[in-house]
Chains A and B, each alone.
Chain A
Amino acid sequence: MRENTKYHNYRFIGKINVDEIQPWFDFTTTKPWDDPEIPWILDNKVRREILIILAKGPKTFQEIYERVNFSPKPLLITKEEYDCQISYNWTKKTVENHLMNLEWYNLIKLINKSYKLTIPILSTEETEKLEEYIVKFTENWITIIKQLGDEVKEKLGDLDKKTPLYEILIEKTIEKLYRILKEENLLPNQPNLKALWAEQLRKIKFEDWVAKNF
Chain B
Amino acid sequence: MSGTEYPKEILESLEDYNIDIRDFMPGHGKGAKLLLNFNKISGLEQVDGVILKGREIENGIVADIIIMEGTKIEEPVHLCFGVNKETGVQEIFPRIIAEDNTEVTVQAHCSFPKANGLIHKMFGHFYIGKNCNFTYSETHYHGENSGAFVAPVAYMYVGENSVFENNFNLTRGTPGKVKIMIDIYAMKNSVIKSNIRAFGKSKKDSVRIRDSVFLEGENARSIIKMKAAARDGGEVLMYGITEGNAPNCNGHVECNEIVLGKGSICRARPFIRAIDPTSSVSHEASLGRFPQKWLDELLAKGLTEEEATQVLIEAMLQEE
B247 partner residues in chain A, CB cutoff 8 A: 93
Q: Report whether over half of chain A's contact residues are helix, strand or loop; otherwise say mixed.
A: loop
- Check if A7 is an interface residue, CB within 8 A of chain B: no
Per the 8 Å Cβ criterion, residues 93-118 of B in contact with A are 93, 95, 97, 99-100
Partner-binding segment picked from A26-34, A59-67, A113-121, A178-186:
A26-34
Chain A residue at smallest Cβ distance from B216: A94
What 0/1 readout, one digit per residue, does chain A (82-105) give for beta carbons within 8 Å of chain B?
A: 101110111101100110110000
B77: min CB distance to chain A, Å = 15
Of the 9-residue stretches B61-69, B163-171, B225-233, B303-311, which lies at the interface with chain A?
B61-69
The answer, among B125, B214, B237, for a CB contact under 8 Å with A72, is B125
Q: Known contacts A30-B149, A72-B125, A93-B247; is A86 also within 8 Å of B241 by CB?
A: no
- Report B33-57 CB contacts with A as 1/0, cut-off 8 Å: 0000000000000000001011101
Whether A82 lies near B93 (C-beta < 8 A) is no
Closest to B277 in A: A97
Known A72-B157, A98-B245; judge A88-B99 contact (CB<8 A).
no
* Bitwise interface map of A from 23 to 43 toward B, beta carbon under 8 Å scored 1, else 0: 011010010111000001001
| A44 in the interface (beta carbon within 8 A) | yes
B51 CB contact (under 8 Å) in A33, A45, A77: A77
Select B95's contact among A74, A97, A98, beta carbons within 8 Å: A74
Q: Is the CB of B66 within 8 A of A210?
A: no
- Answer whether residue A76 sits at the interface, using C-beta atoms and an 8 A cutoff: yes
- Tell me how far the C-beta of A67 lies from the nearest C-beta in chain B, rounded to whole angstroms: 16
B208: Cβ under 8 A from any A Cβ: yes
Cα-based distance from A59 to B91 in the complex (angstroms) = 38
> Are B153 and A84 touching (Cβ within 8 A)?
no
A214, B55: Cβ atoms closer than 8 Å: yes
Report the nearest B residue to A46, measured CB to CB: B216
Once A25-B153, A32-B208, A90-B216 are accepted as A-B contacts, the answer to whether A72 and B97 lie under 8 Å apart by CB is yes
Q: Which residue of A lies closest to B237 (CB)?
A: A34
A77 vs B95: C-alpha distance when bound (angstroms): 11
A residues less than 8 Å from B95 (CB atoms)? 72, 74-75
Contact A93 B210 (CB under 8 A): no
- A206–B155 Cα distance when bound, in Å, is 14
Is the Cβ of A45 less than 8 Å from the Cβ of B155? yes
In contact, A45 and B185 (Cβ under 8 angstroms): yes
Q: In the bound complex, how far is the Cα of B238 from the Cα of A126, in angstroms?
A: 37
Count residues on chain B whose CB falls below 8 Å from chain A CBs: 53
CB distance from A47 to the nearest CB of B (A): 9
- Please give, as numbers and ranges, the residues of chain A lying within 8 Å of B57 by CB-CB distance: 213
B 280-303 to A, binary, CB cutoff 8 A, 1 in contact else 0: 000000000000000000000000
Q: Known interface pairs A72-B127, A75-B64, A214-B62. Does A91 touch B100 (Cβ–Cβ under 8 Å)?
A: no
Nearest-neighbour CB distance to chain A for B14, whole angstroms, equals 26
Tell me whether B13 is interfacial, beta carbon within 8 Å.
Answer: no
Task: Given the known inter-chain contacts A76-B55, A86-B97, please indicate yes or no for A94 contacting B245, CB distance below 8 A.
Answer: yes
B212 touches A43 (CB 8 A): yes
* Interface hits, A11-32 → B, CB 8 Å: 24-25, 27, 30, 32
Contact with B along A171-214 (1 / 0, CB 8 A): 00000000000000000000000000000000000100010011
Contact of A44 among B54, B181, B239, B243 (CB under 8 A): B243
B188 at the binding interface (Cβ < 8 Å): yes
Q: Does B203 contact A (CB under 8 A)?
A: no
With contacts A32-B208, A75-B62, A86-B159 taken as known, whether A44 is within 8 angstroms of B97 at the C-beta atoms is no
- Cβ-defined contact, A74 with B97, below 8 A: yes
Cβ of B276 within 8 Å of any chain A Cβ, yes or no, is: yes
Contacts of B187 in A (CB 8 A): 88-89
Is B72 close to A, CB under 8 A? no
Are A34 and B210 in contact, with the CB atoms below 8 A? yes
Q: In the bound complex, do residue B64 and residue A76 qualify as a contact, i.e. CB atoms below 8 Å apart?
A: yes
Residues of chain B within 8 A of A46, CB atoms compared? 185, 214, 216, 245
Known: A72-B95, A88-B127. 13 other contacts (CB 8 A): A25-B151, A25-B153, A25-B181, A27-B121, A27-B123, A30-B151, A30-B179, A40-B273, A85-B69, A91-B188, A94-B245, A98-B245, A101-B275
9 contacts between A and B (CB under 8 A): A25-B179, A33-B179, A33-B181, A45-B183, A74-B97, A75-B95, A86-B127, A94-B276, A98-B245
